[in-house]
């Protein structure tokens, strides 16, 4: 079985994000970029399936400019077999990404598609669901655990009330949550081998998709700074401050 994994290039989660002076976008100048953490979990899950003999090939795909090649090479070093980049300007909206991924899926015909549940930059949590709708594939979102058996995948997913298990017929789409696994680190030999693995570049025109976005970014603002909390010595003092200072009771 072939597994297709989508990965995204984002600002490294350790970096403090800065807003441009004109508030038009986030400042990316000289900022460390990395693979989206949820995408790392998706790659790790695909690699574990291959190590268990349940997958034959892992294909990673990213939507963006040539700068995304770094993250694709990272995925190849982690265990993917080959990579595909759909060459676009950075920042297409979720629907455009889903349409491009849908055409890649039709071209590659994987048995399982794994995505991170969301990217830590836009935080939209939309692409996996949109992709499932476009392909009319069953979907298991927010995967806490998954198990492949006889052409089906059982996905235990995190919901507000606890855990829910869904049984999906392959081909299917799974989006990964944080607790699905712990991603590994790429070893130096695998990083060197990844440089020789195939990385193909496609264009939206080749896939027959228009990436004209319908979402326009108007303004970006940093969150308002919060005042530091205080400690109180007793319940009576707490009630007094809530009543006379905060005026919430």
pLDDT at residue 7, rounded to an integer: 96
User: Domain residues for 141?
Assistant: 2-244
What local confidence, expressed as pLDDT, does residue 91 receive? Answer: 75
What was the pLDDT predicted at 82?
Answer: 95
Q: What's the average pLDDT block by block, 10 residues per block, for the chain (249 residues)?
A: 95 89 86 94 96 95 93 95 91 90 96 94 91 96 93 92 92 94 93 93 92 84 84 92 86
- CATH number of the CATH domain containing 85: 3.40.50.620
Question: What pLDDT score was predicted for residue 228?
Answer: 84
- Predicted local confidence at residue 17, as pLDDT: 87
pLDDT at 180: 93
Q: Is residue 176 a contact partner of residue 72, using CB atoms and an 8 Å limit?
A: no
Residue 178 lies in a domain: yes
Looking at residue 21, its pLDDT comes to 87
Q: Evaluate whether residue 168 is within a structural domain.
A: yes
From 25, 37, 181, 49, select the one nearest 112 (Cα to Cα).
Answer: 49
- In this prediction, residue 223 carries a pLDDT of 84
Residue 191 counted as domain residue: yes
Number of compact structural domains in the chain: 1
- The model's pTM is 0.85
Residue 155 domain flag:
yes
Residue 179 lies in a domain: yes
Question: Is 39 among the domain residues?
Answer: yes
- Is residue 128 included in any domain, yes or no? yes
SS3 46: helix
Give domain status of residue 249, yes or no.
no
């Amino acid at each position: 079985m072939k597994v297709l994994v989508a990965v995204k290039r984002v600002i490294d989660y350790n970096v403090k994000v800065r807003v441009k002076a004109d508030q038009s976008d986030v400042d990316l100048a000289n900022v460390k970029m990395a693979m989206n953490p949820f995408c790392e979990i998706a790659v790790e899950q695909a690699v574990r399936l291959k190590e268990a003999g349940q997958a034959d090939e892992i294909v990673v795909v990213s939507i963006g400019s040539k700068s995304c090649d770094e993250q694709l090479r990272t995925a190849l070093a982690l265990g993917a077999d080959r990579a595909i980049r759909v060459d676009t300007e950075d920042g297409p909206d979720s629907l455009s990404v889903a349409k491009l991924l849908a055409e890649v899926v039709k071209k590659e015909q994987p048995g399982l598609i794994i995505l991170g549940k969301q990217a830590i930059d836009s935080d939209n949590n939309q692409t996996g669901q949109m992709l499932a709708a476009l392909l009319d594939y069953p979907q298991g979102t927010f995967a806490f655990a998954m198990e492949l058996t006889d052409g089906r995948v059982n996905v235990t997913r995190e919901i507000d009330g606890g855990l829910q298990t869904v049984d999906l017929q392959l081909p299917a789409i799974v989006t990964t949550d944080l607790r699905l696994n712990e991603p590994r680190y790429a070893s130096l030999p695998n990083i060197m081998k990844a440089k020789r693995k195939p990385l193909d570049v496609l264009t939206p025109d080749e896939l027959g998709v228009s990436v004209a976005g319908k979402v326009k970014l108007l303004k970006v603002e940093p969150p308002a700074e919060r005042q530091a909390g205080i400690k109180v010595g007793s319940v009576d003092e707490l009630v007094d401050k809530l009543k006379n200072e905060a005026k919430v009771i």
